[in-house]
């Protein structure tokens, strides 16, 4: 799964990478957590214009009675999303990019506390998760927009840390993934595969990232891994 990530790229780089018409409004975040507002890029209707919008992380289907489902839908398995009631309509009609600078995963290390890793591009460039978005109307009438990150089997790099990884889209697949005229999931299925591990890197980071209230550059700084002594 993907339960924490960062987006620290400057606005002009986000504009260029994501094909936006203008610089988006974004303050760097080092420790983005579920249910928080996160940026997505999408195309609505028949427009070819890409918009940069903030929505809540944790997809709430249009038929949900309340917000509680959002904590269980921060991720969607790409292999089954087309059949799941919570995700199938969004996969057909409401796909989006979720930009990121890296994501965090935790690896058991033999102690009570897992070791977090930052995982991203080898050249530290911006990338985008394959995402889905949804619109839900609260009982009081307010409209809440939400999203989820699609996941897939891990590549060789991530498999050493976790048994799933987020779907990272190739830049050349952005247009197809966002195209509102494509409403058959089979036509975007080829996008939903593990990213090339040769283009990625991972490194250990501080357990500061374990707490969502810690949101600064120290969350993504590389740290040495403590070696647990072996008793003979």
Q: What is the pLDDT of residue 108?
A: 87
- Give the domains, in start order, of the chain with CATH numbers: 5-220 (3.90.1680.10)
130 Cβ contact list (under 8 Å, min separation 6): 78, 95, 97, 98, 149, 150, 166, 167, 168, 169, 177, 191, 192
CA distance 6 to 125: 12
Percent of the chain with pLDDT over 90: 90
**What's the pLDDT tens digit per position in 67-89?**
999 999 999 999 999 999 999 99
Q: What is the DSSP string of 157-222?
A: TGGGT-S-EEPBPPGGGHHHHH-TT---GGGTGGG-S---GGGEEEEEB-GGGGSTT--SGGGGSB
Q: What is the pLDDT of residue 49?
A: 93
From first to last of its 232 residues, the chain has per-residue pLDDT tens of 799 999 999 999 999 999 999 999 999 999 999 999 999 999 987 778 999 999 999 999 999 999 999 999 999 999 999 999 999 999 999 999 999 999 999 998 877 789 999 999 999 999 999 999 999 999 888 999 999 999 999 999 999 999 999 999 999 999 999 999 999 999 999 999 999 999 999 999 999 999 999 999 999 999 998 655 444 4
- Quick one: which of 105, 103, 126 has its CA closest to 10? 126
CA distance 215 to 3: 15
> Where would I find the H helices in the chain?
11-18, 88-93, 174-178
Q: Catalytic site residues?
A: 2, 105
Beta strand pairing call for 200-204 and 102-107: unpaired
- Quick one: which of 52, 136, 53, 135 has its CA closest to 93? 135
Cα diameter, the chain: 68
> Where would I find the H helices in 73-173?
88-93
Beta-carbon neighbour count of residue 110 at 10 Å?
9
Tokens of 105: 């995963």
């Amino acid at each position: 799964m993907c339960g924490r990530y960062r987006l620290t790229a400057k606005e002009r780089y986000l504009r260029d990478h994501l094909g936006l018409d203008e610089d988006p409004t974004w303050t760097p975040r080092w420790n983005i957590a579920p249910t928080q507002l996160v940026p997505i890029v999408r195309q609505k209707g028949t427009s070819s214009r890409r918009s940069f919008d903030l929505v809540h992380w944790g997809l709430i289907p249009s038929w949900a009675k309340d917000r509680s489902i959002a904590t269980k839908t921060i991720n969607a398995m790409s292999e089954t999303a087309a059949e799941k009631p919570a995700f199938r309509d969004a996969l057909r009609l409401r796909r989006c990019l979720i930009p990121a600078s890296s994501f965090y995963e935790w690896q058991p290390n033999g102690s009570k506390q897992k070791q977090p890793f930052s995982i991203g591009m080898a050249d530290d460039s911006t990338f985008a998760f394959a995402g889905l978005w949804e619109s839900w109307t609260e009982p009081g009438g307010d409209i809440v927009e939400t999203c989820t990150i699609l996941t897939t089997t891990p590549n060789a790099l991530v498999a050493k840390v976790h048994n799933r990884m987020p779907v990272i889209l190739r830049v050349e697949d952005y247009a197809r993934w966002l195209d509102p005229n494509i409403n058959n999931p089979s036509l975007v299925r080829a996008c939903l595969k593990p990213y090339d591990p040769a283009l990625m890197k991972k490194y250990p980071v501080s357990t500061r990232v374990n707490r969502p209230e810690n949101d600064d550059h120290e969350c993504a700084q590389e740290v040495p891994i403590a070696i647990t002594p072996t008793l003979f």
